[in-house]
Amino acid sequence: MQTAVLLSLALCSCAAFQRVAAEEVPDFAKTTLSGDWGGRRSEAWQSGWAFDGTVTVDALRNRGGQRNGGGAMTNIDLGVTADLEKLVGWNGATAYVNVLYSGGSQVNASYTGSLMGVSNIEVDVPTARLFQAWIQQNFFNDQFSLLAGIYPIDSEFYVMDSASVLIHPTFGTPGDLALTYVPSEFNHAAPALRAKWLSADRTLYGMAAVVNGVAGDPDYTKSYFFKSSGGQGAFVIGEFGWKPREAGITLKPVEPVRTVPTEELYDYERFKPEGKYAVGLWRYSKPPPGQYAVDADGQPAQGHAQGGYVLAENTLFGLGEQGRDVSAFARYSWSNGLATAIDRTWNVGVRVRGPLASRPDDVLAIGAVYGGLSSGYRSTQAATGNPTAASESVVELTWRAAITRYFALQPVAQWIRHPGGGADTERATLFGVRLQLVL
């Protein structure tokens, strides 16, 4: 059955893919905890509505760093996608609204003290908020699109699919960008305009976004909606990439949103090998409010925070059956370090899908992070009598066990050297588990 699916993906025309994607309905009973709602969820999907939800819980125990201790963090992610062509005849348009509740213990802030964090669902202040609300309009057979609304850049930019199973935050947003002044990412998003282009065979792409300079008002961290003070300028980011393995595949949606997949899309994502090479640049239009870097006279350096990244991921070899393979990823990012403790980040790692033949849906991954401390930050710390190391580094090992299509259990281990950048800080070791439910 799996081989037949792969052969059909390779041989079918693009038009056939589009017809299948339009006609097929996800098997909600098999893929979600709440099921098909007596058939109403399938009816809504066919009429143009898609309702999705995920609950993620991270329970982590820290030893070392600032002090020993642990706790649990929770993120509830609920989304509604509207196919405006089906609903109101608006050709090529999609709308999306997404709300989050994020809360629980602050394991890193309370215990580990890492500059780059320990979990990609930990937040500074527990709150529920509108996270995304945008409309995307597609043109020219989906080769070009414009998106406008409240939009997080980490939904599309600098993404490495083969690193996504790892829970450390920097396998998503690079550390040198994440530490700038409230960028538009989890769990604060800002108004934005994003344009994206795909080549006719979908192997090349280019995208750029202009975003409000600060994703929210730091004085109102518990606001339920986007709130901004004036004079924050703009944040601009662009990325150009090549995905050689996407040639001719139109089954994959072009919108930056995850919904419950159809069986065809699920098989495609489960069996497809990875292949992506990209470069990106970003810049703030206004100088950062607080700077570590100084000029020759010891005054705050003048300039705009800016940086970039290069990344690559590729499937190296298979492990026999389709869908069981080994992929590697790497990303280097940098900034001018005007206002961040980290000014360069390396991410490298390996992902194994189906590490055991008896468990083809499990994922094993190991990744490493190197975060180089900026010279300005090190000088500032030295002036206050706090010696620093040259870097903070992390190694993470995790195994995502797929219990069902909608429930996963994921043991996690992390080792963090020089958490917080302190030269004399004890190494932190974290063990825990991630639980994830698709509602």
Q: What is the pLDDT along the chain (439 residues), one digit of tens a residue?
A: 333 433 343 333 333 333 334 458 999 999 999 999 999 999 999 999 999 999 999 999 999 999 999 999 999 999 999 999 999 999 999 999 999 999 999 999 999 999 999 999 999 888 898 999 999 999 999 999 999 999 999 999 999 999 999 999 999 999 999 988 888 999 889 999 999 999 999 999 999 999 998 886 666 666 666 666 666 789 999 999 999 998 877 777 788 888 888 888 888 888 889 999 999 999 998 877 665 655 555 556 667 889 999 999 999 999 988 889 999 999 999 998 877 889 999 999 999 999 999 999 999 999 999 999 988 888 888 888 888 999 999 999 999 999 999 999 999 999 999 999 999 899 999 999 999 999 9
Q: What is the pLDDT of residues 46-79, one digit of tens each?
A: 999 999 999 999 999 999 999 999 999 999 999 9
Q: What domains are defined for the chain?
A: 2-438 (2.40.160.180)
Beta partners for 392?
371
What integer pLDDT is reported at residue 243 of this predicted model?
Answer: 95
pTM of the model: 0.89
